[in-house]
Amino acid sequence: MNSVKKLLLTAALPLSLALSGCGEARPETKAVYLLIDTSGTYTQELHKAQAIINYLLANLNSGDSMAVARIDSGSFSEKDILAKATFDMRPSTANEQKRSFKQAIDDFAGKLKYGSANTDISGGMLQATEYLNETGAGEKYVFIFSDLEEDLPDDYTRDFPISMDNIQVVALNVTKLRSDNIDPRDYLNRLDNWQHRVTEGGGDWRVLNDLERMERLIVAN
C-alpha cells in the first residue's frame, strides 16, 4: 500500500467511527424529564419547581438532555413540553441554551394564572418515557413535581402498564392534601400506588420532599 492510500485510510477512520456511533446509546450522558403539576392550587408551588430547574441546569453537562413539561388535564402531548434541549459540546453554546431554557420557564411561570381542571399524571409519564428513550442516554430520570393526586377527565383511559425500564422516577414536593390530615393513610396509599406502578413497569422509585437536599436529585444506580 502506497503512502497516499495509507494517509487517506488514516484520515477516514475517525470519520467512520463517528458515523457508526450516530443513533447509538450514550452511556456517559444523562437525560432528565421534569413534570410540573399545574392543576388547581398546586400552581402555588411553582416557584419551588423553578428552583429545581435552576439546580438541574447548573449541574447537567454538555451532551446531557433535559425537558420540562406541565401536567394538566391531558398530558400525553408534545404541546405540554415547555422547554427541551440537548446541551451542546461547546461550553459557550451550552450556556446560551441554558439561559434560553430558564427564560422559557420563567416566561411560563409569569403568565400562568389558573390551574387546569384535571390532573393527568399518567399521560405525562408516558410522554416522559418516550422522550427519555429517544435520547439514548445512559442515565434517565423522570421527576414528578406533584401531590400525586391523579384526577382524569371522564373519557380518559390510563389504567394500563407503563414501561419504565432503566428509568429512575423521583417524586418531588409531594404535598399533603386537606383530606390527608383527616386520614393519613390516603397520603401513604397514594405513594404506595405510584411506587407499585413504577416498579411494575421496570423503573426505580424514590421520594424527595426535602428540597434543601437537591444534591440527592441525581443518584447513579
pLDDT tens figures, 40-88: 889 889 999 999 999 999 999 999 999 999 999 999 999 999 999 999 9
Amino acid at position 198, single letter: V
Question: What would you measure as the largest C-alpha separation in the chain, in angstroms?
Answer: 85
Task: Using the predicted structure, report yes or no on whether residue 3 has a pLDDT greater than 70.
Answer: no
Q: How far is CA 160 from CA 132, 144, 163, 201, in A?
A: 20, 19, 10, 10
pLDDT in tens, 93-126: 999 999 999 999 999 999 998 889 999 999 999 9
Spacing of C-alpha 65 from chain mean position: 9
Torsion 65-71-77-80 (CA) sign: negative
Can you give the pLDDT at residue 13?
A: 38
Task: Using the predicted structure, report yes or no on whether residue 197 has a pLDDT greater than 60.
Answer: yes
Can you give the pLDDT at residue 220?
A: 58
Helices (H), 112-162: 121-135
**DSSP labels, 11-63:** HHHHHHHHHHTTTS-EEEEEEEEEEEE-BGGGGGGHHHHHHHHHHHHHH--TT
Q: Could you say which of 3.30.465.10, 3.40.50.410, 3.40.50.300, 3.40.50.720 is the CATH number of the domain covering 27-216?
A: 3.40.50.410
pTM: 0.86
pLDDT-derived band at 33 (thresholds 50, 70, 90) equals very high
Task: Using the predicted structure, report yes or no on whether residue 203 has a pLDDT greater than 80.
Answer: yes
Torsion 144-150-155-159 (CA) sign: positive
